[in-house]
Each structure stands twice: as structure tokens, then as C-alpha cells.
Amino acid sequence: MSTIPAENRPPPGPPRVVAISGMIFAALYIAGLVFARLAVPADPTEPGAWLGDPTLRSWVRFALNVIPLTGIAFLWFMAVLRNRIGGLEDRFFATVFLGSGLLFIAMLFVAAAVSQGLLATFAAEGRLPARSETYAVGRAMGYALVNTFAVKMEAVFIIVTSTIALRTAISPRWMAFVGYALALVMLLTITDFAWIALVFPSWVLLLSAYILFIDFGRKHRAARGAEGKAPHEGKAAGD
């Protein structure tokens, strides 16, 4: 009976709840962005009139509360991708992959912390921050972190993941080229377009759906193959 060396064995598949982490991330990130964009004007120089509306404040508070869960889900999504790459992982691309992904989460958390500080400070004081330098700095900082720096890291993550996909065939070539196109749009689009941040979770949702579809089909074929072999094995044992 031959044994397969440990280094050549395919990595075990992650649990199903972990495999859908990309979809969970996409759903939470899109929900948070939509609520934040509907509540807060896209212009980073706006005077903060939304703080006077309790409904808009609750929308922003919801968006900020889902950020930690969003970051955790994205970490699991990165783990799922690395698991699929397995022993084919290249150290050069792995470094960029991990660096861009972790920087994206860090910027997202910092932006959420700054926004939470502004919300807690001015909502508690019950006054509009129209002439507050603190609000102006915090608002501009949060906007730049999400719409400039985080978006660029998202683009880098898409590029390196698409490159790894082409080299290891963990996804079809057309999906990698779609990733390149989306990343190019994110790198070249001016930061005044506030909805550009929705491109990244949409790409993650597409890739996660493909991974789940392929894994489900593979397990289904394996189950059918095992059922087909069982009668022959039983007959052989009887003979």
C-alpha cells in the first residue's frame, strides 16, 4: 500500500462555515458602506448636519458596529484562499497578499475608530460641529482612510490574488482578468466617487461564490463515485 508524502498531500478543506466567510464579509461590508453613505454626505468638508438627526446617527452607529465582524470575516477569507493555494504558495506573492490584506483591515479599523470618536463626542454634546476643527480633521481623516488608502490596498489585494490564481489555477483565467480590470478602475478612479469602495466586496462575493460552487461540485462527484464503487466492492467480498 503506497502512501503519499505529507508535503504532497492536498490541504484539508476548511469547514463550510469558514468557506462562506467571503460572503459574510461582502454582506457586512456592503451593508455598512450603504448605511454610512446614505447617512453621511460624500463630501468630506460637509459641516456635520447629519449628527442632528437621530435616525442618521443610528445608521452610522450600525455601520460602525459591523466593522469588527467585517474585519474578522475577511481574515477568515484570506485563510481560505491560502488553504486553497497550499504548497504552491510563492513567498513573494504571499508577502504582498498578506501585507495588503492586513493593511486594509488596519485602515478600516482606524477609520471606524475615528468615526466612532466623532460620533460619541458630538452626539453627546448635542451641538452641530459646523465650526469645529476637531470634526473637520477627523471627518477628512476617516474619508481618506476609507476612500483613498483602503481602496488602494484593496486594489493591490485583488491584483496579487488574481496573479496567484493565474499561476496556480485556483480559479478560471477569466476571473483573474476581471480582477485585474476592477483593480485598475480602483487605482485610477478619483477619490471623489464615494461608491468605489463597493467594488471590492463585490469581487470577494464573486470569488467566494465560485469557490463554494467548485467545492460543492467536487464533494458531490466524490460522493457519487463512492456510491458507485460500493456495490462492486461488496460483490468482490462475497466472491
State the SS3 of 50-112.
HHHCHHHHHHHHHHHHCHHHHHHHHHHHHHHHHHHHHHHCCHHHHHHHHHHHHHHHHHHHHHH
Is the pLDDT confidence value at 19 over 90?
A: no
Per-residue pLDDT for 228 more than 80?
no
Residue 184 has pLDDT above 80, yes or no: yes
For residue 183, name the pLDDT band (cuts at 50, 70, 90): very high
233 in a structural domain: no
What pLDDT was estimated at residue 233? 53
Q: What percent of the chain has pLDDT over 90?
A: 36
Q: Domain for residue 3, yes or no?
A: no
**80 in Cβ contact with 22 (< 8 Å):** yes
Tell me the three cell numbers of residue 70.
Answer: 467585517
Q: How confident is the model at residue 70 (pLDDT cuts 50, 70, 90)?
A: very high
Nearest to 143 by CA among 63, 60, 40, 71: 40
5: in domain:
no
* CB-CB contact of 60 with 115 (8 Å): yes
Position 236 in a domain: no
Residue that is written with C-alpha cell 503506497 in the block: 2
In a domain, 160, yes or no: yes
Domain assignment present for residue 234? The answer is no
Residue 180's alpha-carbon distances to 18, 23, 42, 174, in angstroms, are 26, 20, 27, 10
Residue 235 pLDDT more than 60? no
| Cα–Cα nearest to 150, from 112, 202, 203, 95 | 112
List the grid coordinates of 147.
Answer: 476612500
Only one residue has cell 476581471, namely 178
At residue 1, the pLDDT reads 43
The model's pTM: 0.80
Q: Domain tally for the chain? A: 1
- Residue 160, pLDDT above cutoff 50: yes
Q: What is the mean pLDDT of residues 54-65?
A: 91
Q: How confident is residue 119, by pLDDT bands cut at 50, 70 and 90?
A: confident
Average pLDDT, the chain: 81
* Within a domain: 194: yes
Residue 189 has pLDDT above 90, yes or no: no
- For residue range 86-102, what is the model confidence (pLDDT) as tens digits? 777 788 888 999 999 99
Please name the residue that has the C-alpha cell 458596529: 65
**Residue in the structure block whose three cell numbers are 466586496:** 201
43 pLDDT above the threshold of 60: yes
- Residue carrying the nine cell digits 469547514: 15
Q: For residues 210 and 171, is the Cβ–Cβ distance under 8 A?
A: yes
pLDDT at 192 over 50: yes
* Residue 175 belongs to domain spanning: 15-225
Integer angstrom CA distances of residue 56 from 2, 62, 129: 65, 10, 15
Domain assignment present for residue 115? The answer is: yes
